[in-house]
Amino acid sequence: MKTFGLRNRRYLGSKRAVLPVIGEVIAGLGEPPQTAADLFAGTGVVGQLLARAGLAVTFNDLLSANTTVYRAFFGPEPVRADLLAELVAGINAAPRETLAPNYFSRTFGGTYYTDANARLIGYFRICIQDWHTGGRISDRERDVLIASLLYGMDKAAATVGHYDAFRIGAATQARPVFGLPELESFETVHTVTRQDANQLVRQHHWDLVYIDPPYNSRQYGDLYHVLDNVTDWQQGPVQFKARKMDRRHLKSDYCTTAAVPAFSDLIEALDTSTIIMSYNDTGSRGNARSAARLADDDILTIMRRRGRVEVVDVPHREFTTGRSGIGEIVERLFVCHVDETAAVLAPRAQALPAAQPAGREATGETGTLVRSPLNYTGNKKRLVSEIIPLLPGPGEEHQRFVDVFSGSMTVGMNAGYSRVAFNDVQVDVVGLGQLFAGTPYSEIVAQVEALIAEYGLSDSQAHGYQTYGANSSNGLGQVNKAAYLQLREDFNAMDSADQRRLFAFFTLVVFGFNNQIRYNRSGEFNMPVGKRDFNSRVRKNLFDTVARMHALTPELWTLDFRDVFGKLQTTDLVYCDPPYLLGTAPYNEQNAWTVDDETALLDELARFAARGGTFGLSNVLTHKGSEHDQLADWAAEHGFTVHTLDYSYANSSYQRKDRNASREVLITNWTGPAAH
Evaluate if residue 283 carries a pLDDT over 80.
no
Instruction: Tell me the average pLDDT across 514-520.
Output: 86
- Report the predicted TM-score, pTM, of the whole model to 2 decimal places: 0.60
pLDDT band at 122 (very low <50, low <70, confident <90, very high): very high
Closest by CA to 395, choosing from 676, 609, 672, 640, is 672
Q: What is the pLDDT confidence band of residue 94, given thresholds at 50, 70 and 90?
A: very high
Instruction: Give the relative orientation of helices 427-438 and 536-551 as an angle to the nearest 10 degrees.
Output: 80
Averaging pLDDT over each range in 107-111, 276-280, 365-369, 666-670, which range is the top one?
666-670
Which tops the pLDDT comparison, 111 or 424? Answer: 424
Q: Where are the alpha helices (DSSP H) in 456-500?
A: 460-463, 477-493
Full 3-state SS string of 338-401: ECCCCCCCCCCCCCCCCCCCCCCCCCCCCCCCCCCCCCCCCCCCCCHHHHHHHCCCCCCCCCEE
User: Residue 673: its pLDDT value, please?
Assistant: 53
* Per-position b or e across 201-239, b if 16+ CB within 10 A of its CB: beebebbbbbbbbbbbbbbbbbbbbbbbbbbebeeeeee
Interval 226-251: pLDDT, tens: 888 999 998 878 766 656 666 556 66
User: Which of the pair, 295 or 184, is modelled with greater confidence?
Assistant: 184
The closest alpha carbon to 409, from 370, 442, 448, 440, belongs to 370
Residue 72 φ then ψ, to 5°: -65, -45
What percent of the residues of the chain are helix, what percent strand, and what percent coil, each to the nearest 5? Answer: 40, 15, 45
- What does the radius of gyration of the chain's CA atoms come to, in whole angstroms? 30
* Dihedral sign of CA atoms 126, 130, 133, 137 in order: negative
pLDDT band at 641 (very low <50, low <70, confident <90, very high): very high
Look at residue 656 in the predicted model and tell me its pLDDT: 38
pLDDT band at residue 130 using 50, 70 and 90 as cut-offs: very high
CA 622 to chain CA centroid, nearest Å: 40
Directed axis angle between helix 296-303 and helix 259-269, to 10°? 30
Instruction: State how far the Cα of 676 lies from the Cα of 644, in Å rounded to an integer.
Output: 10
Lowest-pLDDT range of 15-19, 144-148, 156-160, 349-353: 349-353
20-24, 43-47, 221-225, 285-289: least confident range: 285-289
Residue 207 and residue 195: Cα distance in Å, rounded?
20
- In angstroms, rounded to a whole number, what is the distance separating the alpha carbons of residues 208 and 50? 10
Contact 114, 122 (CB under 8 A): no
Number of helical (H) and strand (E) elements in the chain, helices listed first? 23, 17
Residue 76 pLDDT greater than 50, yes or no:
yes
Start-to-end CA span in the chain (Å): 82
CA dist 433 and 430 (Å) reads 5
Angle subtended at Cα 136 by Cα 132 and Cα 141, rounded to the nearest 5 degrees: 60
Query: Over 80: is that where the pLDDT of 291 sits?
Result: no
The helix-helix angle for 139-156 and 64-74 (nearest 10°) equals 120
Q: Give the model confidence (pLDDT) of 521-550 as tens digits.
A: 888 999 999 999 998 788 888 988 998 999
Instruction: Tell me the per-residue pLDDT of 189-203, one tens digit each, with 9 for 90 and over.
Output: 999 999 989 889 988
Over pLDDT 90: what percentage of the chain? Answer: 53
- The mean pLDDT of 63-84, rounded to a whole number, is 95
Residue 566 main-chain phi, psi, to 5 deg: -75, -15
- Is it the case that residue 318 has pLDDT exceeding 90? no
pLDDT for res 79:
96
- 393-418 mean pLDDT: 95
Q: How confident is the model at residue 560 (pLDDT cuts 50, 70, 90)?
A: very high
Q: Look at 27-31, 32-36, 349-353, 557-561 and tell me which has the smallest mean pLDDT.
A: 349-353
Contact 615, 576 (CB under 8 A): yes
The C-alpha atoms of residue 63 and residue 8 are separated, in whole angstroms, by 18
Residue 385 pLDDT grade (very low, low, confident, very high; cuts 50, 70, 90):
confident
pLDDT band at 441 (very low <50, low <70, confident <90, very high): confident
Residue 453 CB contacts under 8 Å (≥ 6 apart), including other chains: none
Measured CA distances, 491 to 81, 540, 604 (Å):
61, 25, 36
